[in-house]
Chains A and B, each alone.
Chain A
Amino acid sequence: MKKIWSYLRQDFTTALRDNIVLYTILAPLLVAVLLKAFLPSVEEAGLHFAVDRGVGGAVVAALDQYGAVELYDHTAAVIDRVERPDTVAGIVPGNGDLSLIFEGDEEPGIMESFEAVAAKVAAGYDLVELTTVSVSEADSLLNQVLFAALIMMAALIGGTAAGFNIVDEKESRAIQAAAVTPLRLSHFIAARGLLSVITGGIITLGTGLILAGSGINYGLLLLLIAFSGFVITAIGLAVGGTANNQITAIASLKVIMPVYMTIPILTIFVSEKYQYLFYILPNYWQFQAVREVFFPGSTGYGFWLPAWLTLVLGAVFLAVIVQLFRRRFQIR
């Protein structure tokens, strides 16, 4: 334990000296702040109209209740606006009615919504009294994906910090010096793992605070960080094992990152009947557990099953990585 602690202290000194680690701790927190600022306006975005002033003030005022309205002096300007890449419908005076202008490549669902508004505004009927009741505070799928992606990125960075330390030791040949000391491979991995979990934990907690404030169970989040320890350590060893300098470490990370983060996120869009194909991946379960921490009940698995599977499959994954790269660490 003493050897592990001493190695860990040395790691922290290296980590703090190296810009790469300090910056990578700050980067996800900055992204979380930006995301938090941006997300509400994405979620609340209504429809977007480009309107010819000729339709009259009453129509403009009515359209204003359904989203953003941009006013133009003539139809040609409205058409120019509609032709830009985003989804904006034009409203111009028609033959005694309103004319709704589309490009033709808009999604059918969005066109139906625009038509519903045009029908309501043009006809002025009042057929339904609508009341809305929110049954839970659950957020949209977009929120779930972005929150889970940021938390997984925080954990990934914890592993990366340890990986870059290994690379630093390789470059400075400190790892060769360590190989002739009584340090064992298990101590080396434990120290790296602790560094990964502590760094990843700090970033994860910071990201959680920025995204959710006091709205989540931080006990579960901390447990999940601990349960993800093997996965995070395996990432660190994979980066450190494959790279001999910082440039190749960046290169390794560029391949590891999509495998670790993109695959679990994309499984959201994969049919239920093919989900079993991903059950073997610890990061798949880690992703489900993160979703459960931030949006309880969102996956149908609960928290504990994905958390335990993250731990168990993570241990298997770590064992494979250690076997693959043990010679490269040159430690007994």
Chain B
Amino acid sequence: MFSRLVNLFKLDLNVTLRNALAWVMGGTLVIMILTVHFLIPDSEFEGMRQYFLDETEHTVLKGALLEAGVAEEWVFNSYDSLHEAVLQDRQSVGLVYRGSLESLQVVMLHHGALSPENVNLLRASLEKTMAESAGLSPGGGYQVEYLRELVEPVSNKMHALPSLLAFEVIVIGFLMVAVMIFQEKSEGTIKAYRVSPGRTGAYLLSKTLVFASLGLIYGLVFIFSTMGLPPNLPLLCLVLALAVSFYTLAGAAVAVFFNNISEWIFVGVGLLMLNMVPIISYGYPAFSPAVLTYLPSYPLLFGLRELLVPTGKPVFLLVWLLLALNAAAFALCLPLVHRKLMKEGRS
């Protein structure tokens, strides 16, 4: 059994490296490395610019704004000029202060629509600034507790790495195993395999091992070329290999239902797109509907982030989850491959 598996592994590895798929991996790897190095800025993305107009009695806030470091050209003298400036700059908001410090009225000029929650939030932020500058602490307060040590915000580059790993490197097995199965179908290799002493388990394990190995190398080259040595290399290797093998098994389970890549592409690419949806929660961490958290890419994405930029959260849970997912995917895939793929080979 073991020597058969080793032979199959060598054969599958040769086939994969010989055809265009190896070039695709190489080409995509170069594009990803160049993107991280030259396109994604290190620094934080520049936020919204704030323009001001002080119409309070005796313009009491203008001096405070300038003292706080607000650029002089961002403090306007009339509502019309402020309105025009905000209108011209899509990445800006305008704040008009009216009334007195005791009874401050603020008009906020913005683009697009704001939900009531976000308006309330803006008001709370303005009031906190006012309360702090006026030394107000009426009616009690609040304390802040941190479950772990405070960590510095990560750069945009480091923030992008987990998503590139999760949605390019790790899903490589899902796409490639499908391509390989269709290639074998069209070349008649499956029929040849069926009449050989090979078993379905070895067939599946061989492909899983090939893509887990290639995915691991692909991922490590990408990580070494972009961030250097990661903090926990052994655990990262384990997570990468397990994740690629899970997606390979899932890819095989889907591919067996189709005869060629034309039939597969709609469902296959659709599933890959669905798998990518948690990237919204990754970019907007306040948005995490329960349905997104059930997708395997959700814990994977945040787990990879923790592996690359440790904050003290336990990552071993992710390993257990991936082991369970691999076991479930193998148990599902084995009878499917046997029935759909090997049965077809008999005909």
A residues neighboring B (CB under 8 Å): 18-20, 23-24, 26-27, 30-31, 38, 41-48, 65-67, 79, 82-87, 94-110, 112-113, 115-142, 243, 246-248, 250-252, 254-255, 258-259, 262-263, 266-267, 269-271, 295, 297-298
Tell me the residues in window 73-102 of chain B with beta carbons closer than 8 Å to chain A beta carbons: 83, 86-88, 90-91, 94, 99
Instruction: Tell me, in angstroms, the Cα distance from A212 to B302 when the chains sit together.
Output: 33
New contact pairs (14) apart from A19-B262, A46-B286, CB-CB < 8 Å = A24-B265, A38-B277, A85-B281, A85-B298, A98-B141, A98-B143, A104-B146, A116-B121, A117-B121, A252-B20, A258-B28, A266-B39, A266-B40, A267-B39
| A-contact 0/1 string along B135-165, CB 8 Å cutoff | 0111111111111111101001000000000
Bound Cα distance A66, B282 (Å): 21
B183 touches A247 (CB 8 A): yes
Chain A residue numbers with a CB within 8 Å of B116 are 65
Closest CB-CB distance, B167 to chain A, in whole Å? 11
Q: Does B299 contact A (CB under 8 A)?
A: yes
Q: Which residues of A sit under 8 angstroms from B298, Cβ to Cβ?
A: 85
B interface with A by C-beta (< 8 Å): 19-21, 23-24, 27-28, 31-32, 35, 39-41, 45, 47, 83, 86-88, 90-91, 94, 99, 103-128, 130-131, 134, 136-151, 153, 156, 175, 179, 182-183, 260-263, 265-266, 269-270, 273, 277, 280-281, 283-289, 293, 298-299, 302, 311-313
Residues of A contacting B146 in the complex (Cβ-Cβ under 8 angstroms): 101-104
CB-CB nearest in chain A for B98: A129
Residues of chain A contacted by B119 (CB below 8 angstroms): 130, 132
CB closest residue in chain A, given B104: A128
Interface centre among B24, B35, B87, B123 (most CB of A within 10 A): B123
B142→A97 contact, CB < 8 A: yes
Q: List 22 A-B contacts (CB under 8 A).
A: A46-B121, A47-B121, A48-B288, A66-B124, A79-B147, A82-B147, A116-B128, A120-B123, A120-B128, A123-B137, A127-B126, A128-B130, A129-B104, A130-B122, A133-B108, A135-B94, A135-B110, A141-B91, A246-B260, A255-B27, A263-B39, A269-B156
In the complex, are the beta carbons of B144 and A100 less than 8 A apart? yes
Q: CB-CB < 8 A to B136: which residues of A?
A: 123, 125, 127
Taking the closest CB of chain B, its distance from the CB of A82, in whole angstroms, is 7
- The 8 A-B pairs with the shortest beta carbon distances in the complex, nearest first, are A46-B117, A85-B302, A23-B266, A87-B285, A86-B288, A44-B115, A105-B311, A116-B128
The answer for the CA separation of A279 and B150 in the assembled complex, in Å, is 41
Q: By the criterion CB–CB under 8 Å, are B179 and A250 in contact? A: yes
How far apart are the CA atoms of A112 and B260 in the complex, in Å? 53
Interface pair A20/B262, CB less than 8 Å apart? yes
Residues of B within 8 A of A262 (CB): 31, 35
- Cβ-defined contact, B143 with A130, below 8 A: no
Task: Assess whether A130 is in contact with B126, with CB atoms less than 8 Å apart.
Answer: yes
Complex Cα–Cα for A266 and B114 (A) = 26
The docked-state distance in angstroms from the alpha carbon of A115 to that of B146 is 13
A97 to B137, CA, bound (A): 12
Asked if A269 contacts B41 (CB within 8 A), the reply is yes
In whole angstroms, how far apart are the Cα atoms of A263 and B136 in the complex?
49
- Give the residues in chain B near A117, CB-CB below 8 Å: 121, 124
Pick the contact of B266 from A27, A109, A116 — CB < 8 Å?
Answer: A27
Nearest to B116 among chain A residues (CB) is A65
A124-B138 CB under 8 A given contacts A46-B286, A134-B110? yes
> CA of A95 to CA of B145 in the docked complex: distance in angstroms?
12
| B260: chain A residues within 8 A (beta carbon) | 246
Residue of B nearest to A30 (CB): B270
- Asked whether, in the complex, the Cβ of B287 is within 8 Å of the Cβ of A94, the reply is no
- In the assembled complex, the CB of B202 is this many whole angstroms from the nearest CB of chain A, namely 24
CB distance from B156 to the nearest CB of A (A): 7
Contact of A269 among B39, B83, B91, B128 (CB under 8 A): B39
